[in-house]
Amino acid sequence: MSGGWNTIESDAGVFTYLLENLGVKNVQFEELISLDSQSLGQLSPLGVIFLFKYNNDGRKSDGPLDGQFDFEATYNLDDAGSGGDGKGKVWFAAQTIQNACGTQALLSVLMNKDNKDGVELGPHLTDFKDFTAAFPPDIRGEALSNSDLIRDTHNSFARSSPFVSDETRMATQDDDLFHFIAYTSINGTLYELDGLQEAPISHGPCAPTDFADKVIPVLQRRIERYPTNEIRFNLLAMCQDLRVKAREFGDEDMVYREEEKRRAWQWENALRRHNFVGFVGELMKGVTAAKIADGSYDAWIEDSKTKTKKKLEESKKKGYNPDEMEM
């Protein structure tokens, strides 16, 4: 592989345009601010992407803490249509590299949908799905990690940094690690798709129309395993392009709102890609020159030192750890 994977934000605009840049059509993401099935159901979701603080207590000795491993679901996709019980139709990839979990979670939902779900994968992902269909999860994960197109598209949404590290720092016990997983309905079953697990996790029967009602209790049980003061969760719904639905209903106001949202997302994504170090440097030069000219430079520096020291002390009292990493 010619390069690594960078951390990307759990953001509706980032994920929507990431898939669009991969050639996917008629898909967008919406952030959910409450865990209620009604809000989720209104979006007719294809699946959800859940971001949470990762710990290593996600399974019992004989299986996951919630649900059951479905090893049969990972059988060769090429053989799935040859008869039998319909097993083996889940596209599932093991995560083999750090920071890839965001895009991997998106693809875990997307690769299990097709035209009948109103989704167009586009030529690149269709070819990738066909290419990896016969692979076991670990090899499929390696293929994903080594895809130049997917990795470069993923990295194009990472925040710009003027600094290049000579080596990737490994996570330590003091770091807060965050991880993306996916939930979706496949072949009448609610699946949790987590590349760090051995197999897809089944949470029981679930028709696509029942997905919102079935997935919310699963998410609530997962959140309840954390301390009550842990609030760092994020939930994004993958749904069909809301502009298409608005045009079908002739709702011009909704079309306008969705177009405005898209423009805002494009602007925010452009800001993420831009390196502001040069601009900030020139700005600070101007401010410094002005402070020296009016004789307030020394007092300005001392005041800044005092404020910085105070903020650091307050952060330590709150137990804030600045090192937050993505799995």
Active-site positions?
A: 101, 179
Q: Would you give the distance in Å from CA 327 to the centre of its chain?
A: 11
How many Cβ atoms are within 10 Å of 301's Cβ, its own excluded?
Answer: 12
CA distance 155 to 76: 30
The length of the chain in residues reads 327
Q: Are 168 and 158 contacting, i.e. CB atoms less than 8 angstroms apart?
A: no
How many Cβ atoms are within 10 Å of 93's Cβ, its own excluded?
Answer: 25
Q: Are 27 and 221 contacting, i.e. CB atoms less than 8 angstroms apart?
A: no
Alpha helix ranges (H) inside the chain? 12-21, 37-41, 101-110, 122-132, 137-145, 148-155, 211-224, 242-248, 252-273, 277-293, 297-318
Taking alpha carbons only, the member of 58, 53, 85, 57 closest to residue 72 is 85
